[in-house]
Structure 1
Amino acid sequence: MSAFEPDEAEWEARRRKRAPWGVIALVLLTGLALIRNGSGEFDAGPPQPAGAAAADSRTPGGIVVDAVPPLPYAVPERVRIPSIQVDAPVIPVGLDMEGWVDAPPPEDPNLAGWFTGAVSPGEKGTAVVVGHVDNAQGPAVFYGLGALKKGNHVEVARQDGKTAVFEIYGVEVFAKNDFPGDRVYASKGGAELRVITCGGGFSQQNGYDGNVVAFARLAEVR
């Protein structure tokens, strides 16, 4: 067992201690400091979401909320996004000492983090997966997140042997100093997923000024 793999009793204890979404949203209203070490110095920079990819909050992607029954709790092990060539292991992450959602170690560019303060991917509620956009060596796991389109899929392989397949219904970039925490994190009534990385403008002094957020809803279980 690695340092990132608590035993089942510890996972259950953590799950029961999860903060309510209202608290999480307040903690994270300014956004997620995912790429504190991101270079932002590559030729064109990461792709940014197109205006047409914005989520429709009234009827997200035309998907019925309860079309696929939610799954029970299970630790996620891997995330795949075929349309942007993502295939990465997932480790658990929590909040750091400053109240930000922590990020996977930046030294490994192909690593995603599941925020343990939320539900597991496939459970009823909103699960959150985060990852770096780049590091000092180049693009990282979610560099292409802003290029996702409505209808693309995110596949999350879980420890129970099931794969939760989510369909993208929106991709947007939000300023970190005006991050809509309630809109991004709050439960919509079914099993949802948010995949988040840094994006927007970049400066040497402050790094990336926004977060790219992919909104997705459970569409299939394999």
Structure 2
Amino acid sequence: MAEQQKPPTPQPAPQKTPMQRALPGLLIAGSLGGVGIVMVSLLSLAPPVDDGSGSLAAAQDQPTKVEVQNAGAFVLPATVGPGGKDVPLTPARLDAPPPLAAVPVVSPFTPVKTKTAKVKAQPIRIKIPKIKVNAPIGAVTMDAKGKLGTPPLTKPSQTGWYRGSPLPGELGSAIINGHVSTRKGPAVFDRLRELAKGDQIYVYRSDKKVTRYTVSGIEQASKTSFPTSRVYGNTNNSQLRLITCGGVFNQTAHSYTDNIVVYATLSKKKG
């Protein structure tokens, strides 16, 4: 730094008017307002994110930007909420992990390996006591565009297990979806949003094995920012994902704006 000069003899400071005293604060406030406008503009240019209809293999490890209306009005939580009575469901940040288990977990079933060609076990029924679900489980797959299928609308009481996901009770995240409603009225997962941390889900298999999962969290996420990695990503234990529609029904598109996702972890097994 340059050598400092001897300061001049201090003179009495002139009295400032109220406007002069307020001016620095006004300048700072104006600057922050300008920054806020710039930030809102940048967020409005954020790229769209995966809506869950693409290839499941496209799950990303890095967080993806979310375009949020009224930017700055709220911040997405870092974890999936527990849900509960009269608790609004909200989405978590896309880079947030699945919620922690509500109760101690048990080890998954070990897949049976045989040399003879046999029909593999299938999940056949799901029971959720809290919301009075006792429904058969069919199978769903992905179409050529990578979109996950759903049970037939003609069978509103049936759920669908994604055959590309693990068999319930085995290592990984088993995916089961179902309709929230059809033109005839409520469907199998009409009350799915009522589940909360600690609730129990039972899945029965064709090989007589029974799995009990305990809900660890639940969220409502926009289909324009579906949490692909959190739902379909690898896990180190046996987990279950239940998916249905939620939000506002778009009459033109004949679809809902959001998805309800329930996360659960294997807490008991039999067989």
1:70 counterpart = 2:90: no
Which of 199, 203, 222 lines up with 2:246 in the alignment?
199
- 1:26, CA displacement in angstroms? 2.1
* Larger strand proportion of the pair: 1
Shift of 1:205: 1.7
Cα deviation, 1:134-182, whole Å, max 9, x if unaligned, reads 0010000001000101100110000110111000000111111111100
**Cα-Cα RMSD:** 2.7
Q: Which residue of 2 aligns with 1:20?
A: none
Alignment partner of 2:100 out of 56, 60, 66: 60
- Which structure has the bigger radius of gyration? 2
Mind listing any 5+ residue stretches in structure 1 that lack a counterpart? 1-22, 30-46
Distance 1:90 1:60 in 2: 26
Q: 1 CA distance for matches of 2:160 and 2:182?
A: 15
Q: CA 1:108 to 1:97, structure 2 compared with 1: closer, same or farther past 3 Å?
A: same
Matches within 5 A, 1:1-222: 24-26=56-58, 50-51=87-88, 57=97, 60-64=100-104, 67-73=105-111, 74-206=121-253, 207-222=255-270
Secondary structure of the equivalent of 1:102? coil
Distance change >3 Å, CA 52–CA 178, structure 1 → 2? closer
Query: Please, which runs of 5 or more residues in structure 2 have no aligned partner?
Result: 1-54, 65-83, 112-120
CA distance in 1, matches of 2:220, 2:267: 23
CA distance in 2: counterparts of 1:110 and 1:159, whole angstroms: 19
Partner SS, residue 165 of structure 1 = strand
Aligned length: 181
Residue aligned with 1:83, SS: helix
Instruction: Output the CA distance in 1 between the equivalents of 2:165 and 2:188.
Output: 21
Q: What secondary structure, in the 3-state scheme, does the structure 1 residue paired with 2:241 have?
A: strand
**Equivalents in 2 of 1:165, 1:139: separation in Å?**
25
Contact 2:90 2:220 in 1 (8 A): no
Question: Once the two structures are superposed, what CA deviation does each residue of 1:4-63 show, in whole Å capped at 9, x if it has no partner?
Answer: xxxxxxxxxxxxxxxxxxx5242899xxxxxxxxxxxxxxxxx99834797884761444
What displacement does 1:200 show?
A: 1.4
Query: Relative contact order, CA 8 A, sep 6+: which one is greater?
Result: 1
Instruction: Give the superposition deviation at 1:188.
Output: 2.2
TM-score (norm 2): 0.61
Q: In the aligned structure 1, how far is the partner of 2:86 from the partner of 2:138? A: 26
Q: Is the 8 A contact 1:25 1:181 kept in 2?
A: no
What is the percentage of aligned positions where both structures have the same residue? 36
